[in-house]
Amino acid sequence: MAELPVEPVSRRDRARADTVREIKETARQVLVDQGVDGLALRAVAREMGMTAPALYRYFSSREDLVENVVADLYDELVTVLEAARDAARPATAPIQLLACSREFRRWATTHHAEFGLLFGSAGDGVVPAHGMPGHDDSPAELAAARFGAVFAVLVAEIYMERRFPIPADDEIEPPLQEQLHAWCAKFPVQLPLGVMQVFLSCWIRLYGLVCMEIFGHLKFALNDAEPMFEAELHGLARVLGVADAYAELERA
């Protein structure tokens, strides 16, 4: 079967794509320099030497622009996580999960403003729930689902290979069971509810610690949170039955 000819991209479309890319890059720089509250169309337009109304030819609102920036940030984060996963040796799911966890913290500690937009309260109403596959096809929702899938797939692989301990369904309180059922239904591969609970518990520990560090909530006790992060990561490895992988990664 003959391939259909590819329509060439017009000069006008290329120019528009370049402008859209520049607007998003400028918006990210404004975010870094001025924080989420300063991320306004007028501020972005000023940095670009444009008028604010001119930006509406490319983005319908501040929320539209922020959502597109969020999608790009999630895509960037997924790219660095996947690079860490693919570079991990030996290329086993436990080693890859630990490598991704460390890379998640590294990205967060070197991208405070971007992390705040994705994972802080400033993104409420614009940023989708990270790590939860959804049914919306917005760029930000799809990018957030890809982010969550990096960790979810690796935990699922570890369970299939090692069968780490999980609670039985009747050991999970009914209100939690109901919510885990709804969450599990969004995954392409059905897993026992106990796996979902263990995965969520591990994510709360990992994500919660990184958030507390980035937002300065550990300074009352720690001036360097990395040793605590490693202690928690080692603890999570024990929960998932892969403490041997943590020791192997430490030796590498």
CATH of the domain at 118: 1.10.357.10
Q: Span 177-191, mean pLDDT? A: 88
User: Does residue 53 sit in the same domain as residue 20?
Assistant: yes
Distance between CA atoms of 196 and 203, rounded to whole angstroms? 10
User: 10, 40, 59 — which closes off a domain?
Assistant: 59
User: 21, 44, 59 — which closes off a domain?
Assistant: 59
Please state the domain count of the chain.
2
User: Does residue 66 sit in the same domain as residue 39?
Assistant: no
pLDDT at 189: 77
In the numeric block, which tokens belong to residue 65? Answer: 């622009």
Q: What share of the chain has pLDDT > 90, as a percent?
A: 76
* The Cα angle at residue 182 between residues 178 and 185, in degrees rounded to 5: 135
User: Does residue 120 sit in the same domain as residue 30?
Assistant: no
Radius of gyration of the chain (CA): 21
Segment among 9-13, 44-48, 227-231 with least mean pLDDT: 9-13
pLDDT at 135: 47
User: Does residue 39 sit in the same domain as residue 96?
Assistant: no
Looking at the predicted structure, is the pLDDT value of residue 185 above 70? Answer: yes
Looking at the predicted structure, is the pLDDT value of residue 227 above 90? Answer: yes
Q: Which residue has the higher pLDDT, 86 or 6?
A: 86
Segment among 10-14, 21-25, 63-67 with least mean pLDDT: 10-14
User: Does residue 113 sit in the same domain as residue 76?
Assistant: yes
User: Does residue 110 sit in the same domain as residue 51?
Assistant: no
User: Does residue 12 sit in the same domain as residue 87?
Assistant: no
Instruction: Give this prediction's pTM.
Output: 0.88
Please give the mean pLDDT across all residues of the chain.
89
pLDDT at 187: 81
Looking at the predicted structure, is the pLDDT value of residue 9 above 90? Answer: no
Q: What is the pLDDT of residues 30-88, one digit of tens each?
A: 999 998 888 889 999 999 999 989 999 999 999 999 999 999 999 999 999 999 999 99
User: Does residue 76 sit in the same domain as residue 133?
Assistant: yes
User: Does residue 48 sit in the same domain as residue 81?
Assistant: no
Q: Which residue has the higher pLDDT, 122 or 188?
A: 188
Where in the sequence is the domain holding 43, given as residue range(s)? 1-59
Looking at the predicted structure, is the pLDDT value of residue 158 above 90? Answer: yes
pLDDT at 36: 85
User: 40, 59, 78 — which closes off a domain?
Assistant: 59
What b/e sequence results for 13-37 when a residue is b if at least 16 CB atoms lie within 10 Å of its CB, and e otherwise?
A: eeeeeebeeebbebbbebbeeeebe
User: Does residue 94 sit in the same domain as residue 215?
Assistant: yes
pLDDT at 7: 62
User: Does residue 51 sit in the same domain as residue 73?
Assistant: no
Q: What is the pLDDT of residues 81-136, one digit of tens each?
A: 999 999 999 999 999 999 999 999 999 999 999 999 999 854 454 455 555 444 45
User: Does residue 111 sit in the same domain as residue 48?
Assistant: no
The CATH number covering residue 23 comes to: 1.10.10
Q: Span 181-195, mean pLDDT? A: 88
